[in-house]
Amino acid sequence: MICLYKFHPAFGLRDPSPFCVKVETFLRMVGAEYETISLSDPRKGPKGKLPFITDGDKTIADSTFILKYLIETYRYPIDAHLRAEQRATGLAVTRMLEEHLYWAVVSERWLDPVNWAKVSLQFFGGMPTVIRSIVPRIAQASVKRTLHGQGLGRHRPSEIQTLANDDIRAVSDLLGQQDFILGDRHSSYDASVYAFLSSILYCTLDSPSRQTVLEHENLGRYCDRVGQAFYPEA
């Protein structure tokens, strides 16, 4: 039995991490049998982050390597219908979302004062008072350093949003009126696209990125369509 280790639900999302949603969506797309275990501390993961999976005596961390492992091990034909240029497009879109748009979302959640108050309460509110007065500041400072090192954190919020809007618009343009990101059949790339768009759209934390997604109606229809297909119980 595959076991997916993920975060607890938060902010109206089944998981606040789009990477965890990506893996679970993939598992549902291929019809895999799996169970989930929610953790509060990502440092328990083999790479110090979530998600990771166990499959028998194997442990695989990082959403990209998890999907690679599952496709290769179980020979899921989820991408068999794709041409080489479609795979290249899917990879490019996935990288844009995971290595660029993701950091804009992190900035909106962790650095915006209104959202940070809610994030801090969600993740650190259960700590003893003394610890709660210290740990959130340390965690936020760490995120700021990471964002600065990544590069996005060197920009003003308005500049970050300009870059995020470009990413969201590009996904909307690529999707057009198709059912899925690369055509009329879903692929593994939809697991990532859905994870990131739904994490913005359905999150109870308001943000400029959410407003941009809402302005592109095809993205909302896409999230609803994928959600209804693979999360019918929601």
Higher local confidence (pLDDT), 126 or 23: 23
Upstream peptide bond of 157 is cis (omega within 30 degrees of 0): no
**pLDDT per residue as tens digits for the range 16-44:** 999 999 999 999 999 999 999 999 889 88
- Torsion sign over Cα 56, 58, 63, 66: negative
Could you tell me the domains of the chain? 2-230 (1.20.1050.130)
Average pLDDT over residues 223-231: 97
- Digit-coded pLDDT (tens) for 80-124: 999 999 999 999 999 999 999 999 999 999 999 999 999 999 999
Neighbours of 9 (CB within 10 A): 11
- 43 to 37, 40, 48, 52, 61: CA distances (angstroms): 15, 9, 4, 11, 12
CB 21 within 8 A of CB 192: no
Task: Give the pLDDT confidence score for residue 11 in this predicted structure.
Answer: 97
Residues 47 and 55 sit within 8 Å (Cβ to Cβ)? no
The alpha carbon of residue 56 and the mean position of all alpha carbons in its chain are separated, in whole angstroms, by: 26
Rounded to whole angstroms, the Cα distance separating 86 from 67 reads 18
Angle CA(187)–CA(77)–CA(33) in degrees, nearest 5? Answer: 90
Confidence of residue 129 (pLDDT cuts 50, 70, 90): confident
The reported pLDDT for the residue numbered 17 is 98
> How large is the average pLDDT for residues 163-179?
98
Q: Is 232 helix (H, G, I), strand (E, B) or coil?
A: coil
